[in-house]
Amino acid sequence: MFERIGNYFRETRDELLNKVSWPSWNELTESTWIVLVASVLFALIIWSMDQVLGLALTNFYKLF
């Protein structure tokens, strides 16, 4: 059983070091900026929808 566990960790280490293609530093920073900008835009869209719907519901509730 312990041999199988040791084999699992050896194969995992080998795969991470030799088979995974890691991004370069430039690719990593570029991807990070893309994700950051997309996250901010998505948050702004959700916030604006929340504000508009909140205002609409407030005005609707005032009718009753």
pLDDT in tens, 17-63: 999 999 999 999 999 999 999 999 999 999 999 999 999 999 999 99
pTM of this structure: 0.64
- What are the residues whose beta carbons fall under 8 Å from the beta carbon of 3, sequence distance 6 or more? none
Domain coordinates in residue numbering, the chain: 24-64
- Find, among 41, 39, 60, the residue nearest to 49 by Cα: 41
Q: What is the mean predicted confidence (pLDDT) over 6-19? A: 94
* pLDDT for res 41: 98
Reply yes or no on whether the pLDDT at 1 is more than 90.
Answer: no
